[in-house]
Amino acid sequence: MTPRHTILLTGGLGYIGSHTAVALVEAGYRAVILDDLSNSERSVFDAICQICGDEHLEFIEGDVTDAACLKTVFEAHDFFGVIHFAAKKSVAESEADPLSYLHTNLSGLVELLRAMDTAGVYNLVFSSSATVYGDQEVFPIPETATRHAVNTYGYTKVASEEMLERVGTADDRWSFGVLRYFNPIGAHGSGLIGENPKGIPANLLPYIDRVATGELPELVVYGDDYDTPDGTGVRDYIHVMDLAEGHVQSLDAIDATGQGHVVNIGTGQGYSVLEVIKAYEAVSDIEIPFRIAPRRAGDVAVYCADASLARDVLGFQAKRDLFEMCRTNWAWTQKMAEAKTA
């Protein structure tokens, strides 16, 4: 089958990028993955090929801030568009080392745009984040909410979106699909790819995974005194495959209309930390011990998406529920544990 189009995925061996590569190939696209392996493993490419075959997949090791590398990649391919995942994404790390975040996240985007412009490729889907909203008063959060960064990571996402707005205003050949993620969790149903952060996980589900395997003794719940039904933080968790399919729909919309968009990619349904623990215990049949600790700096009580615009503009609708998110997280965790002992 001849692929509909060839797409460059920068950072395509990461958690969301790898799942998007699978969704793209399954939708009839060819995916060329550029990744510098700074926060991913080469073996992820083999796993993606195991899931959907290697006929329409290619891997290139390279850094998105390297103009010479990008020039070579664009000269060797006829891309319809690019999905840009390659960026640093830790809030805490961004505060400790802001310069590396400005370099990778902002210089990287500028070099990518310059390489695309030189090659005459003007379709870009950009991996943004709900972090651009900072602290909000109105929930669920609509795309019209004001953006304001409350940390350096969030600043790089706001600045990136503003850069795209400026470039798009100056040259109408550009079409940008800006996707604001909420809380992606879960894993591909095969158990062959999933989230695998290095060191002690900062995010909730990878941390619960480590408690479920016994690597960590208990979960620390950051605060039970928020203004929420059970006092713990509420987030809009979305299955990573729903999110991946949303990227395909963003490309499809650009292909069909030539128009860009800025949309939340969430479910519109929030769950608290305690509700997530209960769902994970139900699907894994494992008790997750936890203790309550003070709130974590920078956390907000509630982060939930108004997901109606993505439905109207892209036809996006999340299909997988919290139990499927936790079930696939646990299945992936079990496969990783088996691989470690093999």
183 binds ligand WQD (CB under 6 A): yes
147 binds ligand WQD (CB under 6 A): no
Q: Is 153 a catalytic residue?
A: yes
Q: Which two tokens stand for residue 227?
A: 């203004």
DSSP notation for 117-163: HHHT--EEEEEEEGGGG-S-SSSSBPTTSPP--SSHHHHHHHHHHHH
Count of residues that interact with ligand WQD, criterion CB under 6 A = 20
Nearest to 265 by CA among 248, 286, 242, 281: 242
Q: Which one among 136, 190, 203, 308 touches ligand WQD, defined by CB under 6 A?
A: 203
202 binds ligand WQD (CB under 6 A): yes
User: CB burial class (10 A; 0-12, 13-18, 19+) of residue 123?
Assistant: buried
Per-position x/- string for 286-305, each x denoting binding to ligand WQD as judged by CB under 6 A, each - no binding: ----------x--x---x--
Q: Which one among 222, 252, 255, 308 touches ligand WQD, defined by CB under 6 A?
A: 222
CA angle 10, 181, 42 (to 5 degrees): 30
Nearest to 151 by CA among 108, 101, 106: 101
Q: Among 15, 29, 122, 153, which one carries the catalytic annotation?
A: 153
Identity of the residue, 76 or 202, whose beta carbon is nearer to ligand WQD in the bound complex: 202
CB atoms near residue 137 (< 10 Å): 6
How far apart are the C-alpha atoms of 325 and 183, rounded to whole Å? 11
91 binds ligand WQD (CB under 6 A): yes
277 binds ligand WQD (CB under 6 A): no
Element (H, E) at 334: helix 322-341
Q: Which one among 104, 129, 250, 284 touches ligand WQD, defined by CB under 6 A?
A: 129
Q: Which one among 59, 80, 181, 332 touches ligand WQD, defined by CB under 6 A?
A: 181
Closest contact distance (angstroms) between CB of 227 and ligand WQD is 13
Cis peptide before 140 (omega within 30 of 0): yes
Active site residues: 153
Residues in touch with ligand WQD (CB under 6 A): 89, 91, 129, 131, 181, 183, 202-204, 207, 219-222, 233, 235, 273, 296, 299, 303
